[in-house]
Structure 1
Amino acid sequence: MYLASARSLLHFMVRWKGSGDGDGFRVLGPFEVWSGGRPLDLGGPKLRVLLALLAANDGRVVRVGTLVDELWGVDAPPDAHRTVRTYMSRLRRVLAPVGTGLIVTRPAGYLLRLEPDALDADVFERLVTAGRAELANGRPTAAADALCPALALWRGEAYGEFGTAAALRAEGARLHRLRLAATEDRVDAELAAGAGESLVAELTELTERHPGHDRLWRQLMIAQYRAGRQADALETFLRARAAFAERAGIDPPPALAQVHRQVLAGDPSLLGHHTQGTLRPAQLPPDVAGFTGRDRELAELDSALAASGVVICAVSGTAGVGKTTLALHWAHQVADRFPDGQLYVNLRGFTPTGSVSHPATAIRGLLDALGTPRERIPAGLDEQAALYRSRLAGTRTLVVLDNARDVEQVRPLLPGAAGCAVVVTSRNRLDGLVTGEGAHPVVLDLLAPPQSWEMLSRRLSPGRIEAEPDAVAEITNRCGGLPLALAIVAGRAALHPKFSLASLALELRQAARRLDGFTGGDPTSDLRTVFSWSYHELTADAARLFRLTGLAPGPDLTAPAAASLLGTADHTGVRGLLAELARAHLIVEHTAGRYTMHELLRGYATELAGVAGGDDPRLATHRLLDHYLHTAQAAARLSYGPWDHLTVEPSMPGVTPDHLTDRRRATEWFIAERPVLLAAVDHAACHGFARHAWQLAWTMTGFLEARGYLREWAAAQRAALTTADPVGQAHARHGLGHALAAMGRYPEALTELHHALDQFAADDNHTAAATTRLRLGLVFTQQGDHRTAIGHTRHALDLFRAGDHRYGQARALNNVGWGYAQLGRYEPALRLCEQALVLNRELRDACGQAATLDSIGYIHHRLGRFARAATCFREALDVYGHIDHLPCRAETLNHLSDTYRALNDHHRADEALSEARPILESLDHAGGR
């Protein structure tokens, strides 16, 4: 009867402590009332005291006078009885989501009428009663089945917040006495079932907290003796004797002295008489209330159970991402599918002390948990592992190996027969388990914004979340989807219910360093400390790369860029270091060859870069910016020609630009690195690298224009403009004017270009002045003022000729020809454009050839030579296809469509427009229109 009752209560407890979706009252820790998986907002302190008094007297009437005394004492107001009635009305409204009729009015007072098992203290007491009955009947395993989950219901101090209410202090003290007695009963049950070593650490702590309890001292001595630590057991007796003498001036109680004599004599009866197989372990730590999201990962774990043989799941992810939380939540969900028990061991792969659990220590604890007598445990690790596998053979047991450091630590702890399942969590990717043991990898990613929002909602009251949506959005954004960061902020908010969420968001925003807002009350809830456990496990070279990677701008990093950051040409070695960081989940290879880092980890790395390892962060940043600038220069030459190419300073020693061999690879590099290059411009401008800022922005012009990223192009030039010297400002103004003109913002474009022209003229930089006049001519052309455009362009042509700048001459000849064509002067226009085409072909300037062929085709079309025009347009499109200049290609397709219509070839005309349409749509998507 008792066992059946205990099991039904255990199922309730799993529901309470598991998914958090059970309704009920929780007093064994912070006082809470849950409904629909969320805690209710109970209101102010007096309402909480009132409800707690009713809960402590569940089913019994509490007199109104008693309530008044507990709420106000001698300071009770004259209308206290009426106020109590008002409070009761409020509480009934608060408790409406739980159910109606919970608070019942009686003539003398009020009572709380709860459903069975709706109060965790009642569940606790019933489980304890059931466990004691099983222990008295000689069934220690069944006793542990009841006592372990009973104790797991505790989350902190019972009624601890109600220090001013004498009745609640008394009830809390009673429950704590019962908790300690139940703990002693549970230890007796596990000792009776054969446990030993696994209890030593817990009992050592308990005797330190409760030195006057001789039962705990006896239990500790027996556990030490069973673990083969006879000398420790004798030393424990000496400490116990000193404690009793100091506290009460008495000798140790007779029962304790008797255990001392048995230890001295080596009494075998202390080893216990239960044989193997009598203990069903239930070692899972409590589940986390309010578990959020992770549906995909839970489904992956569920599907893994369908596999044959030993099921092994390797859960990995970065520090603070919730690996242990996920593993335990899932383990509690499937515990009933493993009737022979659940084993748990923390392998301490990443801890504050760095004290990693050796496999021999872990396996000894697991054998103890399985009730293996000490004398039957062999000395060697291999023999212990064989015995462990034998104990699990033929059982259905779930094993959770938490916080593993590497594969070698895990392998001896794996069962050998089908029916068992293992969940391993680690910050490192345990690739060896996947390849060698067929483990199912489950990589835990960051929470999506809706999941982050839900996590905060579950930790705090829904009303508090709904009242400040903007603050919640900022908090979730700054936490970056990292569950530990969200938990730290939620904990601070819960501890300070009067703080607004906006004030907490402001703390995060104003923190001097990124991680200053994420410090909890202990090492496991301090992000710096948690991150450090992974960092300190790295090799020296990988640690150096991690520190410097925090300096890198942009969303991700490649191996060549990382090599320049380190100042080495050994790209193969750098790839190995990046792989080490990825295995430790300090970076993520989100696409092949590209590595990204969580922003909070980036903040930690940046802090370290300034204080550890001896690297100069500024020199490392300089090398990285040199890498991007010199690679971008090479890519621009290959993709768009050298006609307005900058001459830049040589790179620093240790910089190795990417090796780009052709136009295709150069374009692919620009596409992949665009977000990084734009971030590098901003970073350079903000951190005193003005030359890099304007030169990178200038070098990206061809690519950004060709791809239609007009707003990004303008933003890069503006960023460069803020810090550049006069020369850099002139180039930035030219680039900004160019971008604004492409966006149709002509007055602003002309202002910027005239400023640039004035500076270039003052510096006697004739080539740059000519390029700027050429750009001015194009702006006037776009506005339809072709005569002014021709004037600027002819002036540019003269300057280019004076400087023997042949690329510029070719561009200017084509632009003057285009201007004449717009004025209807087709013959001179054709001569100038044909001169430009010859020069472009000599120079092998693909961009110039395509633009000039388009001009010539336009002129032939206007002269009625439609077949020749179509030929020119098709040749231009062939060239544009190689250089991938989207706006010009779309314009030429439109010209070709007009020509085909003039030839009455409407099918080809429609084809040309159909080909132009997706290009124009992609330009719209890129922000080009």
Structure 2
Amino acid sequence: MTWADGREGGDPEVVLGVLGGLEVRHGCEIVSMGHGRQRSVLAVLAVEAGRVVAVDTLIDRVWGERPPSRARSTLRTYLTHLRRALAPSGVAIIHRNAGYLLTAEPHIVDLHRFHQLLTSARVQQDSERALDVIEKALGLWRGEPLAELDTPWAQAIRNRLHLERAAAEADRIDWALACGWHRQVLPELATAAEAEPLDERMAGQLMLALYRGGRQADALRHYQHTRQRLVEELGTEPGEALQELHQRILIADPTLTPSDTTITGGSSAVPRQLPAPPRWFTGRGDHLAALDTALKRRGTVVISAIGGAGGIGKTWLALAWAHRHLDRFPDGQLFVDLRGFSPDGTPTDPAVALHGFLDALGVLPDRIPVDLEARSALFRSLVAERRMLIVLDNAATAEQAVPLLPGGTTCTVLITSRRRLPGLITRHGAHSLPLGVLTDTESRALFVAALGPDRVADDEHATAELIALCGGFPLALGLIAAHAQPGLPLKEAATELRESGLDALDADDPTASLPAVLSWSLRHLTEHQRTAFALLSIAPGPDIGLPAAANLTGLPERETRAVLRALADASLIDSRLGGRHAMHDLVRAYATTLTHDLPDLVREAALERVTDFYLHTAHTAHCLLTPDDESVRPGLPSPGVYPHPLPDPPAAMAWLEAEHHHLLAAQRTAVTHHRHYTVWHLAQSLSAFHLRRGHLDDDLAVWHAALNAATHLPEPTTRARARRYLGIAYLRLRRHEEATGHLHRALALAEHHHDTTQQAGTHLDLAQTWELRGDDRKAMKHARNALDLCRTLDNATRKAEALNAVGWFAARLGDFDTARSHCQTALALHRHHNNSEGEAATLDSLGYIDRHTGHHHQAIHHYRQALTLLRTLGHTYQVASTLDHLGHPHTALGQHEQARAVWQEALELYREQTREAGAQRIQRQLDYLDNTLTTAPDDKFR
């Protein structure tokens, strides 16, 4: 015995009915179930057929809040009578687990059979078959369900069943309209629509029936009536589905014309909707392989290209891959541009996209449901078990794409979007495929594909420049290639792009204009997000971290993090390791144009905050690295600036390392905006770090800028310090003449303003300069002058540095007793005041003294102690020099392998620091070591 699902045996006999009054049939006879309460007990058990109902639950559902005093005894009596009455029908009531269970199969009870038929109807692909089944389901209703029960439970069941019946009636109307029965359903539709004037689905059905019956004016009039009621009573416009139907009726869309052909008559169509493959597609080998891997997995595959901005090549990748695998999709390919980011800014309604898919699948227009969910269900039914490819291009949101996803496990879906679509990944098992720029090799291959190998080979220099200027951005590369097609020399194309920038990538056609394509991504952003996007383009440095971004935008870090995440989701910025974010150069160029739309005060305040953030955090780091340095403190930061906290020297070094490029850029920004104090203080705050890491050229550049800034500052000490530190920068680069000139001018300024501290420091710097120029006696004279001046200062660290300098030059001049005495005194002072950097320098000096007095083991001991301190400080510049010195006592003791090891490490550091003279000398020492046991001569480079 079966029912309306196409199996053999016909319809079953309904033995027990609750939809419109309880009755039990046995054959053609209605079996009496006794009085009202006894019948109510059976009704409750019938609703829960096949499930145990606890005794207390049964009592509550039958009597509600007023059960009889002996409810359990009464219930047992009722159940005894019911068992006796049901016995001929084969239905039984059994006691189980402190409750009772009706053993009837679900299809024996009309309520459960209604649900089975309803489910069966909704999976039918044939509208006529579905209509037949739904009418059988609705035919089971004979009145008010559970009419004899007035308990809260019964009322809830009735309410739910009425909603289910209304939905089934609406489905029946859809299928009747799909079968061309508009005239038959029009009377009942008119009555129902009058009773439910705010039901948009019903309004759409009535409009369609009226239109198909030749009453176009009535259909349009009913739309206006429905719209007016919605606006007046709910304050809302009709939904998109009803609006779309209204527009189609207005233009007399021929696809609304009814047909007698069934839906299955066209469902065998094999759509081939893919656009042509991209002509110039190149590269993307890893991404194509990732798509191949995803295809091999069983189950629906959804790939979302979320890693790139507009114009990054997402659609090209999808189409190129799809055309390479057409044989894997013999049942067809569907393609829709969802217009999530398009010129008119209006994303495609999923219902409209589904209409196009259903049409391509052969569904006749009058068989396409009006309701979105009904369309989606029909689409899933039609593609079930088919091997199809569905390309959803340019999706705005996951919600837009979800109704277009097939069911089953045979279809493959490619989704491209500028936004990250995490909902597809978490809820639908999508495979995420971030897409970035092309490599230089791939970019060149695109030019070769577009322009031909000969033309590219004829001007490799211009090709290389164009590739660099485009930065691997496929749309930019394609625009340049298209622009050069008529015969424009590549050299001229490069010149135009170099000089015109983003303007060279603009065009009248918005789809072929990089600025226009990028602009479409902004439509989904909030005002805060658009402002942040513009400000990020003028932030100093190649990328930005969260603390700097918060200072730039003036937002709390929590809000800034959300803004950055939104911009990354929109593929306008890239998220990188360490919580940093970056823009492609062309995206940055576009964003920079948006800053002109910001008020000047907003833009200038943002730059002031971010440069102050870098300055004050850098100053904190400098003070941690050189706690005894008498640096000039910068003034208070601008309002709304929150420097990054740095707890200790290692944290300071790590922050300076990570932000070095941004600090240099911040100084350049300050120069451009004439923030002279910021320029000067950034140079001061970077000096110790530059020495420790050997960034000598950068140090020279920042102090040149600082000296220029100092001419605009009122404090004379800024000019003296700038001269002095610029001299030191020249000194470390072995540019002795410039070093000496700047240091003498610094000394003159210090003497003129009676700045004893700067005088002493400058004398020490001049001592190093004359040492490197080969005049140790002049060097000693400056060292002694420095010591004399330091003895008048209340600064033990300065005094220790001067003592070490005198000791060092005494050793250079052969007076080792004086040298050792001064250096040991200096060492004690440095250790007492915890000056690790000064201690390391003095240990290095003692190592030199020990070596030249024949105490090679003691020299190695002192050098090793110095190295330990220097490595802890991160002072790689001085580590290289001390390793250089350490090799000599090892060599003197015949410890050639140890000497070779330390010199090899020194050689690598010298090369990293571009200290060519030191690297060449070390290489000679290594060569000398390989050929002779004689100690190579050495120099002191400090």
Picking from 470, 479, 499, the partner of 1:488 is 479
- CA-to-partner distance for each residue in 1:597-631, whole Å, 9 max, x for gaps? 11121122222122136753222112111111111
**Mapped contact 2:259–2:366 kept (Cα < 8 A):** no
| 2:444 pairs with 1:453 | yes
The equivalent residue for 1:397 is 388
Match of 2:497 among 502, 508, 518: 508
Give, in angstroms, the shift of residue 590 of structure 1. 2.5
Aligned residue for 2:433, secondary structure, equals: strand
Deviation per CA, 1:866-891, whole angstroms, max 9, x where unpaired?
44333322221221121011132222
- Contact 2:304 2:433 survives alignment (8 Å): yes
Answering whether residue 757 of structure 2 is matched by residue 767 of structure 1, we say yes
Distance of 1:758 and 1:470 partners within structure 2: 51
1:506 aligned partner, one-letter code: T
Task: Give the Cα–Cα distance (whole angstroms) in 1 for the partners of residues 581 and 376 of structure 2.
Answer: 39
| Deviating more after overlay: 849-858 vs 680-689 | 680-689
- Any idea what the Cα deviations from partners look like across 1:541-569, whole Å, max 9, x if unmatched? 2222111111112111000011111224x
The CA deviation at 1:457 is 3.1
The equivalent of 2:735 in structure 1 is: 745
Q: Distance in 1 between matches of 2:558 and 2:429?
A: 29
Q: Does 1:423 align with 2:414?
A: yes
Q: Is the 8 A contact 1:641 1:847 kept in 2?
A: no
Structure 1 residues 670 and 556, CA gap change in structure 2 (3 angstroms): same
Q: 1:689 to 1:228 in 2, by over 3 A?
A: farther
Separation in structure 2 between the aligned mates of residue 910 and residue 595 of structure 1, nearest angstrom: 43
Separation in 2, partners of 1:827, 1:413: 90
Residue from 319, 332, 336 that aligns with 1:328? 319
- Counterpart-to-counterpart distance in 2, 1:531 and 1:729: 47
**Distance verdict in 2 for CA 1:927–1:552, change over 3 Å:** farther
Gaps of 5+ in 1: 1-193, 195-224, 236-258
Q: Verify: 1:367 aligned to 2:358, yes or no.
A: yes
Shift of the alpha carbon at 1:842? 3.0
Change beyond 3 A, Cα 1:710–1:493:
same
- 2:279 maps to which residue? 289
The higher relative CO (CA closer than 8 Å, separation ≥ 6) is in 1
Q: 1:719 to 1:437 in 2, by over 3 A?
A: farther
Give secondary structure in 2 for the equivalent of 1:459.
helix
- Which residue identity is paired with 1:714? L
**SS of equivalent residue, structure 1 residue 557:** strand
Which residue matches 1:702? 688
Structure 1 position 341, deviation (Å): 0.6
Amino acid in the other structure paired with 2:841: A
Change (3 A) 1:507 1:893: closer
- Name whichever of 278-287 and 723-732 sits farther off: 723-732
Counterpart of 2:658 (choices 665, 669, 672) is 672
Conserved 8 A contact 1:474-1:505? yes
The equivalent of 1:821 in structure 2 is 811
Distance 2:540 2:810 in 1: 47
Matched, 1:599 2:585: yes
Q: TM-score, normalised by structure 1?
A: 0.68
SS in 2 for 1:700: helix
The reply to whether residue 343 of structure 1 matches residue 334 of structure 2 is yes
Distance in 2 separating the partners of 1:562 and 1:620: 10
Shift of 1:864: 3.2
Where 2:799 maps in the other structure, the secondary structure is helix
- Following superposition, the deviation at residue 540 of structure 1 comes to 2.3
Q: Is the 8 A contact 2:212 2:258 kept in 1?
A: no
- Between 1:344-353 and 1:789-798, the stretch displaced more is 789-798
Q: 2:522 corresponds to which letter in structure 1?
A: Y
Residue identity in the other structure for 2:418: R
* 2:605 equivalent among 589, 594, 619: 619
Partner of 1:645: 631
Distance 2:668 2:827 in 1: 38
Alpha-carbon distance between aligned partners in 1 of 2:896 and 2:552, rounded to the nearest angstrom: 57
Shift of 1:282: 0.8
Q: In the alignment, is the contact (CA less than 8 A) between 2:333 and 2:390 conserved in 1?
A: yes
Q: Which amino acid aligns with 1:779?
A: T
1:928, distance to aligned residue in structure 2 (A): 9.0
C-alpha separation in 2, matches of 1:584 and 1:732: 46
What is the one-letter code of the residue matched to 1:588? D
Match status 1:387 vs 2:374: no
Per the TM alignment, residue 669 of structure 1 is displaced from its structure 2 partner at its CA by: 1.3
Deviation, structure 1 residue 267? 6.0
Identify the residue that residue 213 of structure 1 maps to in structure 2. Answer: none
Contact 2:255 2:366 in 1 (8 A): no
- TM-aligned CA distance change 1:319 to 1:806, over 3 Å: farther
- Structure 2 distance, partners of 1:402, 1:796, is 74
Amino acid corresponding to residue 515 of structure 1 in structure 2: L
Q: Structure 2 CA distance, aligned partners of 1:370 and 1:925?
A: 72
Alignment match, 2:200: none
> What displacement does 1:818 show?
0.8
Q: Which moved more, 1:542-551 or 1:896-905?
A: 896-905
Question: For 1:260 and 1:790, how far apart are their aligned partners in 2?
Answer: 100
**For 2:544 and 2:745, how far apart are their aligned partners in 1?**
37
Contact 1:717 1:732 in 2 (8 A): yes
- Counterparts of 1:667 and 1:444 in 2: how far apart (Å)? 34
Is 1:531 matched up with 2:522? Answer: no
State the match for 2:220 in structure 1: none
Q: CA deviation at 1:829?
A: 1.7
State the match for 1:303 in structure 2: 293
Contact 2:210 2:216 in 1 (8 A): no
Which residue of the partner structure matches residue 201 of structure 2?
Answer: none
* CA–CA distance in structure 2, aligned partners of residues 262 and 562 of structure 1: 55
- Which deviates further from its counterpart, 481-490 or 723-732? 723-732
Structure 2 residues not aligned, in runs of 5+: 1-177, 179-206, 218-248, 920-942
* 8 Å Cα contact 2:255/2:365 also seen in 1: no
Counterpart of 1:834?
A: 824
Alignment map for 1:495-574 (pairs within 5 Å): 495=486, 497=487, 499-511=488-500, 514-568=501-555, 570-574=556-560
Q: Secondary structure at the residue paired with 2:444? A: helix
Residue 339 of structure 1 and its aligned partner are, at CA, apart by 0.6
1:887 equivalent in alignment to 2:873: no
Matches within 5 A, 1:52-71: none
> Once the two structures are superposed, what CA deviation does each residue of 1:215-254 show, in whole Å capped at 9, x if it has no partner?
xxxxxxxxxx99998799979xxxxxxxxxxxxxxxxxxx
Partners of 2:250 and 2:553 lie apart in 1 by: 63
Whether the 8 Å contact between 2:609 and 2:638 is mirrored in structure 1 is yes
CA distance in 2: counterparts of 1:465 and 1:729, whole angstroms: 53
What SS does structure 2 have at the residue aligned with 1:343? strand
Residues 750 and 271 of structure 1, relative CA distance in 2, 3 Å threshold: farther
SS at match of 1:345: strand
Q: Secondary structure at the match of 1:592?
A: helix
Which amino acid in structure 1 is aligned with residue 906 of structure 2?
A
Q: Report deviation, 1:819.
A: 0.9
* Aligned counterparts of 1:894 and 1:927: Cα–Cα separation in 2: 12
In the alignment, the residues of structure 2 paired with residue 851 and residue 264 of structure 1 have an alpha-carbon distance, to the nearest angstrom, of: 92
Contact 1:226-1:374 within 8 A present in 2 as well: no
Q: How many angstroms does 1:706 deviate by?
A: 1.6
Partner of 1:779: 769
SS in 2 for 1:404: coil
1:835-863 alpha-carbon deviations (Å, 9 max, x no partner): 22222223322111111121123223333
* Secondary structure in structure 1 of the residue aligned to 2:394: strand
* Aligned residues between the structures: 680
Select 1:873's aligned residue among 849, 854, 863. Answer: 863
- Show the counterpart of 2:90: none
| Matching of residue 662 in structure 1 with residue 648 in structure 2 | yes
Please tell me the residue identity of whatever aligns with 2:848.
Answer: Y
**Offset of residue 526 of structure 1:** 2.1
Bigger Cα Rg: 2
